[in-house]
């Protein structure tokens, strides 16, 4: 049996990946219901693993996968994969940021517009037989300065989607320089803090970014801001966001991700009840990059990158 062409697919993905991978000569074992313990028992028989977020691909998984040559992450973030250990073991890592960047960019714009124009509040009031025009007076996006942290696929997609709104987009990326383009101007973190009317996060979760947005960080912003997070929950402390809302430093927050996600764990957080009742927060369940379109595009991107594996 040739172990060099077998791929374990341990999560739900679009069938186009299987179709294209098999056209390259791979044999795909599609087991979207498999759990970690089951995967650990058989992972040694595969050259590749495809995963979304079902379990962490840590040292134990990679050691058990003694024949692993590559791991495909069906999404953008790689925080559930031990990248350093994969490099040590010469395991190629593939992600698919290009596959859901448009979904994330659109979602971030949607959250921002909904916050600035009170869509959710106004809708709820009318359904409750309230007609409050003055209470729902809103802000216009035109002329505002949008600060973006992280100018990879997601950050650039957000900036591109904003290009028709006549806004000033500035971006900071610790790991890039010279990235000014027609959609955003590269600036320092100091300029982000000084000039932003809107702050949007598009960064991966790493040891450096964990807890980046905390009370101290928000304290330094010169103007009240609208805050958007479609990246990872643990890069922004919810308690700090809620406190900044009470202080008037954050005018509204659109959160697709939270420090703790899914119930019942989410409901057990000390800040959850305040978050739930806040009329200045819009919440979505980590779906910014998860559309019917991105479901297919992510698989297409992974398959395209798989072609490059055999060339290395």
Measured distance CA(248)–CA(227) in Å, rounded: 12
Three-state SS for 226?
A: strand
DSSP bridge pairs for 27? 6
Q: Which of 117, 195, 286, 296 is catalytic?
A: 286
Determine whether 307 is an active site residue: no
For the chain, helix (H) and strand (E) counts, in that order, are 12, 12
Measured distance CA(102)–CA(114) in Å, rounded: 18
CA angle 239, 275, 232 (to 5 degrees): 65
Determine whether 268 is an active site residue: no
Determine whether 215 is an active site residue: no
Give the Å distances, CA to CA, from 38 to 42, 59, 65, 152, 205: 7, 16, 13, 35, 27
* CA 278 to mean position of chain CA atoms: 23
* CA 63 to mean position of chain CA atoms: 28
Q: How many CA atoms lie within 13 A of 166 on its CB side?
A: 4
Measured distance CA(182)–CA(263) in Å, rounded: 42
Q: Which of 118, 232, 237, 259 is catalytic?
A: 232
Q: Which of 261, 274, 296, 300 is catalytic?
A: 261
Report which of 89, 76, 239, 52 is spatially closest to residue 158, judged by C-alpha positions. 76
The set of catalytic residues is 232, 261, 286
């Amino acid at each position: 049996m040739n172990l060099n062409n077998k791929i374990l697919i341990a999560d739900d993905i679009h069938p186009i990946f299987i179709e294209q991978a098999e056209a390259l000569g791979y044999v795909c074992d599609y087991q979207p219901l498999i759990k970690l313990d089951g995967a650990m028992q058989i992972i040694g028989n595969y050259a590749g693993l495809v995963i979304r977020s079902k379990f962490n691909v840590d040292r134990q998984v990679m050691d058990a996968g003694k024949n692993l040559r590559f791991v495909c992450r069906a999404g953008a973030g790689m925080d559930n994969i031990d990248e350093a250990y994969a490099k040590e073991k010469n395991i190629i890592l593939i992600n698919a940021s290009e596959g859901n960047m448009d979904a994330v960019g659109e979602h971030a714009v949607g959250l921002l517009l909904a916050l600035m124009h009170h869509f959710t509040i106004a809708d709820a009031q009318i359904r409750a037989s309230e007609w409050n025009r003055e209470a729902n007076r809103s802000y216009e996006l035109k002329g505002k300065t949008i600060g973006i942290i992280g100018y990879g696929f997601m950050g650039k997609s957000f900036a591109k989607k904003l290009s028709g709104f006549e806004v000033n987009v500035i971006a900071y990326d610790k790991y890039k320089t010279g990235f000014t383009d027609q959609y955003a101007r590269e600036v320092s973190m100091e300029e982000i803090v000084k000039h932003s009317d809107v702050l949007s996060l598009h960064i991966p979760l790493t040891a450096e970014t964990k807890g980046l947005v905390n009370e101290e960080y928000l304290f330094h912003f010169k103007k009240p801001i609208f805050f958007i997070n479609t990246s990872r929950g643990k890069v922004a402390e919810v308690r700090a966001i809620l406190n900044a809302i009470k202080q008037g430093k954050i005018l509204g927050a659109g959160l697709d991700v939270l420090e703790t996600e899914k119930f019942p764990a989410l409901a057990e957080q000390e800040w959850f009840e305040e978050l739930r009742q806040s009329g200045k927060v819009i919440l979505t369940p980590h779906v910014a990059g998860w559309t019917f379109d991105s479901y297919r595009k992510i698989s297409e991107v992974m398959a395209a990158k798989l072609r490059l594996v055999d060339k290395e």
